[in-house]
Amino acid sequence: MVNVVVVGSQWGDEGKGKLVDWLSDQADIIVRFQGGHNAGHTLVIDDITYKLSLLPSGIVRSDKLCIIGNGVVLDPWKLIEEINSLKSRGISITPENLKISDNAILILPFHKELDAIREDSNSKNNLGTTRRGIGPAYEDKVGRRSIRLGDLKDLEIVKNRINLMALHHDPLRSYFGKPPIDKESIYRELINVSSKIKDYISPVWQELHNSIKQRKKILFEGAQGALLDLDHGTYPYVTSSNTLAGYASIGSGIGPHNLNYVLGITKAYTTRVGSGPFPSELFDKNFDYLAKKGNEIGTVTGRPRRCGWFDAVLVRQVTQLSGIQGLALTKLDVLDDFDEIKVCVKYKIGSKFLDYMPNSISEQSKLEPIYTSVKGWRESVRGIKKWDHLPKAAKEYVQLLEEEVGTSIDIITTSPERDDTILKKNPFD
């Protein structure tokens, strides 16, 4: 038995959805363990595109059990919207193939309002959040005033928790010139939505424990990317949860010894949505090309992604922080037409060289990328499924990344299609 954790090794948007969907064919259970509907996963199956933001990517496979763990913050209205959207396209979703942790925290309408209010009030230095209430919901979780999914079984508790949250939120809203929370409206909305999701509520930690005893294969699906980790990312331009592989244990309710293999997903170049440091960012024609050919538009936000050359310093750092044992390299085909491809191998601040991203905001702003260059392959790799069929220069590029990052690249994708994948090592073996 091997349980696999899939995490992003950059700032998100690395192509985790496709890889999780591809790997889920071998898994029995697929688990989301952190984040919320700020995650965006795009799957292309038989020329049909599915865009998911909350449900595990394995949900499109009818014979898999999908689990949303306690580490996720859950917008129940968006959950119903996503379920109904998939059902309208012929995907079966029932309490038998979708279970949601009873101690997952709920995102409520005033969380989203506060998120937007803060971003709008600080337009020059905003964090670039998705405005979906993720951060404020996690704040209430830490403040021990949240409503958890299982609380919907006792509506008197729900009413008490709304009152408790109002004590915190109403002064904030007043400061920004907003009216108090409409507690009665929130209560009525929760009564209505609870009837639609109550059958999915489950003590999922127990489900996972029993599945491990039965030697079932579990795939843990991370959201966002490791560089957005609340502790180890480019703070404060990070998400509100821990995105490293270790959180798969906490966010689902299983012991860390049950996590057997960590697969890091990394794009063949680097992208980022929103604000924050980006040492290898491009502003020339190479950016235009990467953005256009890579279709670099955020799945959730619709915002254009910033683009740059592959940053081996950051991926190496993430590999060590997250315990990544192998990488999956995505979007190799986007680099087909370059005469020269650069890789950032170290940083420079003044006369000092660094082989890591410092945590100091001041130092981050001064980082100068130091590149090594390789020749491009100038031919299409799109659709290639075997390592031996790649052009020599493409192989050399992959091998350079392995050397600089210090980890093997076990999987390579050569198009958005599920089956256009080169498998050098199977994570489940």
Active site residues: 13, 41
Among all chains, which residue has been given the structure tokens 């803060």? 118
Do 388 and 374 meet the contact criterion of CB atoms below 8 Å apart? no
Helices (H) and strands (E) in the chain, counts: 12, 20
Q: Is 295 left (phi over 0), alpha (psi -120 to 50) or beta?
A: left
Angle at 37 between CA 426 and CA 77, to 5 degrees: 130
**Helices 155-175 + 183-197 axis angle, to 10:** 130
Residue type, 161: R
Sign of the dihedral defined by the CA atoms of residues 288, 6, 241, 199, in that order? positive
Measured CA to CA in angstroms, residue 34 lies from 43, 157, 222, 225, 382 at distances of 20, 25, 7, 11, 32
For residue 341, give the nearest of 313, 370, 315, 374 by alpha carbon.
374
In whole angstroms, give the CA distance from residue 104 to residue 71: 6
DSSP β-ladder status, 4-8 and 218-221: parallel
For residue 239, give the nearest of 268, 272, 270, 200 by alpha carbon.
272
In whole angstroms, give the CA distance from residue 407 to residue 393: 19
In whole angstroms, give the CA distance from residue 306 to residue 327: 22
Among all chains, which residue has been given the structure tokens 């980790």? 229
Q: Which residues of 141-172 are buried (b: 16+ CB within 10 A; e: fewer)?
A: beeebbbbbbbbeeeeebbebbebbbeebbee
Token pair, residue 290, equals 């990467």
In whole angstroms, give the CA distance from residue 275 to residue 246: 26
Which stretches of 97-255 are DSSP H helices? 109-121, 134-142, 155-175, 183-197, 204-213, 247-250
Residue 268 contacts by C-beta under 8 Å, 6 or more apart in sequence?
A: 310, 329, 330, 331, 332, 334, 335, 397
